[in-house]
């Protein structure tokens, strides 16, 4: 048992006559580990990008709602009347009348 552990620690399994099998397994496992690490980094990068895009969507939605509420306030009749009063235009006291046009034959 001691000899086996010392042999592994000294690396005799890598330099013995049948070490080609061991090297193939070690290289295969190393390649799999590298691929696993790379895919983990790629997944982390995508998670960070998704979080950044979600924050950007929230900011844009907030700006949209703010712009829409400002537009609604500007379209209100009271705000239009005050802005036109500054220019000297006042609303008519006489209500408008409908004009009906009869079709000519």
pLDDT digits (tens, 9 = 90+) for 6-18: 777 777 777 777 7
- CA distances for 105 relative to 19, 67, 71, angstroms: 107, 50, 46
pTM: 0.56
> For the chain, which residues make up each domain, given as ranges?
2-86
Residues 6+ apart with CB under 8 A from 26: 14
**pLDDT band at 23; cut points 50, 70, 90:** confident
Nearest-angstrom CA–CA distance, 35 and 42: 11
Phi then psi dihedrals of residue 16, to 5 deg: -75, 175
pLDDT (tens digit per residue) in 71-96:
999 999 889 988 898 998 988 889 88
- How confident is the model at residue 71, as a pLDDT? 95
């Amino acid at each position: 048992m001691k000899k086996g552990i010392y042999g592994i620690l000294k690396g005799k399994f890598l330099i013995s006559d049948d070490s080609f099998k061991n090297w193939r397994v070690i290289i295969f496992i190393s390649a799999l580990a590298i691929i696993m690490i790379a895919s983990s980094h790629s997944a982390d990068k995508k998670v960070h990008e998704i979080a950044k895009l979600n924050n950007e969507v929230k900011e844009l939605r907030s700006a949209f709602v703010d712009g829409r509420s400002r537009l609604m306030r500007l379209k209100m009749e009271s705000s239009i009347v005050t802005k036109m009063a500054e220019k000297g235009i006042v609303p008519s006291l006489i209500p408008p009348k409908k004009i009906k046009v009869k079709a000519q034959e």
